[in-house]
Structure 1
Amino acid sequence: MSNLFRFKQFSISQERSSMKVGTDGLLLGAWTGLDKHPETILDIGSGTGLIALMLAQRSEALQIDAIEPDPDSYEECVENFEASPWADRLFCYHATLEEFSEEVPETYDLIVSNPPFYTETSIPGGENQLKAKHSISLPFEDLLQASENLLSDNGSFAVILPFKETRHFTELAADIGLFPSRITSIRSRPDRDFIRSLMEFQRSSKDIQQQVLTVEDSPGIYSQAYTDLTRDFYMKM
């Protein structure tokens, strides 16, 4: 199948989903911290299921749930989960975040999201996701409030956003009691401006671990830092 993206331990079918495999999702799935050994994980806006599958490979979490409102993406996500080695730990809900928040009473130790946002930039190595990201709106306020409601007391919330939204998103999070613990600024090459922020939030305020990650040293040549981060997934790394 031409639309099958193969990783070292799983494959992603992306024939029908408008959210193709992209560098944003790969970065979030590989970067998200697992030092607290979460037992329950929630992926908001799962698309093909990429991030949830990466976290299933990286963790021993007993329950990894995903939410996907788009019918085609939902069906493909379910297929990708069922075809993976971790099918017994993965489940996708066909629902909006609002519907899920109202119906699910439990909380999660880790929540991740690669939310839809408007942007004119893309990272080399990833698919262009503008069409999908323009078609669905998820206001930051709604994402943060739902995540705060669904997050366990000692849980973490991880997200990837346009770099220009970093301060605004941090301020909105602080308003509801979520504070950044890690921020990694992403640029495509050493001479380029920052275009993404990987951000991790917790309920307690602490010193922020800040880093910079460059995806490519030169056109088509991945940096050592990006290679180290993603080597457990890419077939040729």
Structure 2
Amino acid sequence: MSHKGFQFKEFKVEQDRCAMKIGTDGVLLGAWVDVPEHINSILDIGTGTGIIALQLAQRSDAEVIDALEIEPQAFEQAVENFENSQWADRLYCYHASLQEFVSEIDDKYDLVISNPPYFNDTFKELDKQRAIARHTEELTFKELLEGVTKVLATDGTAAFIIPYKEEIGFLELAQNTNLFPSKISRYRGNINSELKRSLIQLKTKPHTLVQEEFFLEHSRHEYSDHYKSLVKDFYLKL
């Protein structure tokens, strides 16, 4: 997507100072996650541009929507995107790592969500700003899940999007931290391509697991009905 600002149906996201631009993964996660009708607090870990937090502000009446961002320029941009939205009074961004945040904050959240860094051994040539956004060295899946358990409410929900190939290991780590899958959706780019990502929703107690697979496009820019139904409230052209 362009480095320029991106206009959604109910908000605009500037992204010129963020290493990681708005992409399919973040928008899908913000649209896909189950949001209870009566929810009070949400935490977005590694918010980047702030896109997921903004989506959840649009989708819910949560009074508290907090976000974390460690990279300075992305943090500043997320703050500006929040301030320029119609939900500025409900959105707040902390310039902190998850590790710092959980060591200093006692708050518990009904929903914790993250489009986490996941490239372990690729993109090493990227500049430092982009590398922080892409590599698990700054926040491993184990650290992420352990941190989530410290800020998640007793009956809370956590949601993530990760590479499909990482799913089994991620779920094993989740079980070790007493988080259990309630919904998993796996998607592929088109009907003939390999599975690309896993959207995973976790609960603090064992739960009946709902699973599905879908694809994004029939052909270039010809989107599947399932994908369109997920993101239609956000993209102007859908």
Structure 1 residue 100: deviation in Å?
0.5
Equivalence for 1:68: 69
| 1:149 matches 2:146 | no
Gaps of 5+ in 1: 122-128
Deviation of 1:198 (Å): 0.2
Decide whether the 8 Å contact of 1:119 with 1:162 is kept in 2.
no
- Kindly report which structure 2 residues correspond to 1:122-161, keeping only aligned pairs within 5 A, or say none: 131=131, 132-134=133-135, 137-161=138-162
Q: Flag the 1:151–1:34 CA change in 2: closer, same or farther, 3 A.
A: same
- The one-letter code of the counterpart of 2:62 is A
- Equivalent residue number for residue 233 of structure 2: 232
1: distance between equivalents of 2:3 and 2:206?
46
Residues 6 and 120 of structure 1: CA distance in aligned 2, closer, same or farther (over 3 Å): farther
CA distance in 1, matches of 2:32, 2:111: 13
CA-to-aligned-CA distance 1:132-175 (integer Å, 9 cap, x gap): 31386310110000001100000000000000111111111101
CA contact (8 A) 1:118 1:130 kept: no
Structure 1 residues 2 and 172 mapped into 2: Cα distance closer, same or farther (>3 Å)?
Answer: closer
> Partners of 2:5 and 2:180 in 1: how far apart?
38
Paired with 2:210 and 2:16, the residues of 1 have a C-alpha distance of 38
Q: d(CA) in 2 for partners of 1:136 and 1:95?
A: 16
Looking at structure 2, the residues matched to 8 and 206 of structure 1 have their Cα atoms a distance apart, in angstroms, of 34
CA contact (8 A) 1:160 1:199 kept: yes
Superposed CA RMSD in Å reads: 1.9
Cα separation, 2, equivalents of 1:232 and 1:65: 22
Q: Indicate how the Cα distance of structure 1 residues 197 and 133 shifts in structure 2: closer, same or farther if over 3 A, else same.
A: same
Same amino acid, percent of matched pairs = 46
C-alpha separation in 2, matches of 1:188 and 1:137: 28
Query: Residues of 2 paired with 1:217 and 1:172: CA distance?
Result: 34
Q: Which residue of 1 aligns with 2:167?
A: 166
Whole-angstrom distance in 2 between the partners of 1:225 and 1:143: 29
Q: Which residue of 2 aligns with 1:124?
A: none
User: Which amino acid letter does the alignment assign opposite residue 206 of structure 1?
Assistant: H
What is the letter of the counterpart of residue 82 of structure 2? F
Q: Which residue of 2 is the match for residue 126 of structure 1?
A: none
Q: How does 1:92-131 map to 2 (within 5 A)?
A: 92-118=93-119, 131=131
Does residue 52 of structure 2 align to residue 57 of structure 1? Answer: no
TM-score, normalised relative to structure 2:
0.92
Change (3 A) 1:215 1:148: same
Whether the aligned pair in 2 keeps the contact of 1:117 and 1:137 (CA below 8 Å) is: no
Number of equivalences? 230
Between the aligned partners of 1:188 and 1:101, the Cα distance in structure 2 is 36
Q: Secondary structure at the match of 2:89?
A: helix
CA shift in 2, pair 1:230/1:41, >3 Å? same
Please tell me whether residue 38 in structure 1 is matched to residue 51 in structure 2: no
Q: Any unmatched runs of 5+ in structure 2? A: 123-128
Q: For 1:213, what is the secondary structure of its paired residue?
A: strand
Counterpart CA distance in 2 for 1:117 and 1:44 is 14
TM alignment of 1:181-200, pairs within 5 A: 181-200=182-201
User: C-alpha distance in 2, partners of 1:173/1:186?
Assistant: 21
State how far apart, in whole Å, the 2-side matches of 1:162 and 1:67 are.
Answer: 22
- Give the superposition deviation at 1:36: 5.4
**Alpha-carbon deviations, 1:114-141, whole Å to 9, x = none?**
00111799xxxxxxx9753138631011
TM-score by length of 1: 0.93
Q: For residues 69 and 2 of structure 1, what CA distance do their matches in structure 2 show? A: 20
| C-alpha distance in 2 between matches for 1:159 and 1:45 | 11
